[in-house]
Structure 1
Amino acid sequence: MTTGVPTAPPTRVRPSAMPVAGLLRTAALTLCLWASAGAVTAVSYLLPSADWIAIGLGVVLFLLFGILLHVVHRGVWLVLLAALPALLVLVGAVQYPPELALERYGVRESVVVTDDSAASTGGKNHRLTLRRADGQVLAERLVYRGTGAPKVGDPFREVLGSRRRAPYQPGALSLPKSPHSP
């Protein structure tokens, strides 16, 4: 006996509406992001002079993360919200490991500034010539941008790379208070 009112066919619950499955997928995406950051950090640590390799790997992995995030959660807005934190993680993963490698495997030596390219012009882009305690002048000049650069004759401790070259990171300097500064 029918009442004349059509009944709706039974609906199937889509998989994304099930909370446990959604939590598991989110946890898998989080692990994917952590693994990506770890891989970029490891490559940056192992190859400190080849930043472009770590940056390229990071861009590819974080784009893959964005695609997976969009596929799993079906929301472009979520990918856009995750873009800035992913970029910040990429920058940190590329910049920190070379400084750690330099600090761990570099040699800390006392050097003296013997020449400053900006001393005569008064500019902010200083290219400092450095001399080690044994009298040897380093072939590579230290680039210091900004005010408060060491003056000619100022001693300071510097972290040199394993090949005893000038540091390539500004954070590698350990400048004492200059007697020439106020």
Structure 2
Amino acid sequence: MFARVVVTNMGNEMFNDGLFYTEQAELHKDQQFNKWRYCRSAIICFCVAAEAELAKLIAHSLRKQPHLSPEYTEILLFLTDPNSDKPIPKKLKNIRKKYNLLRRLNGLRPQKPDQRYMELTELRNKIIHYTFSSHEDVYAGTILDSTKIARDAVRDFIADLYSIVRETPPEWVNNNSSIDIQ
């Protein structure tokens, strides 16, 4: 019997996928439907990368606390226990709440997350929760530009997250092109 261990880093993988789909969108910019397909995928992947890092840093910050309240214990279990069947805790319901939870856990006052990242999240939500009222944004002629901006917005947002916890951001966040992850 063979055993295999796979170590994953969701933030890294999804950021890399975002870069890959951005490259594909550029290659297919003259094929409208392919360009849209790759742009939508890139935007979703970039946002997942940021949210994965945010969740990881919240869990890391909770583990460093000398004492956890029942609410914080519930949040930590939700983030780290793959068998958790609890509903999403209120403080994890949206980006703003997660962002400010991370800030509070690290002794900082709440504030609004970066506006570019929040606009990107709104576009991601319009893609994922598509309605006809979202059509203009999702199928805009400028979606490739939005995809290119996404990389930098996520890079800056992740750098901000790591500054909150007083750590250096991972090297992969500086990549400008996708790589084969081994």
> Could you say which TM-score interval applies, normalised by the shorter chain?
under 0.3
Structure whose alpha-carbon radius of gyration is higher? 1
Query: What TM-score do the two structures reach when normalised by structure 2?
Result: 0.27
TM-score (norm 1): 0.27
- Greater RCO (Cα-Cα under 8 Å, separation 6 or more): 2
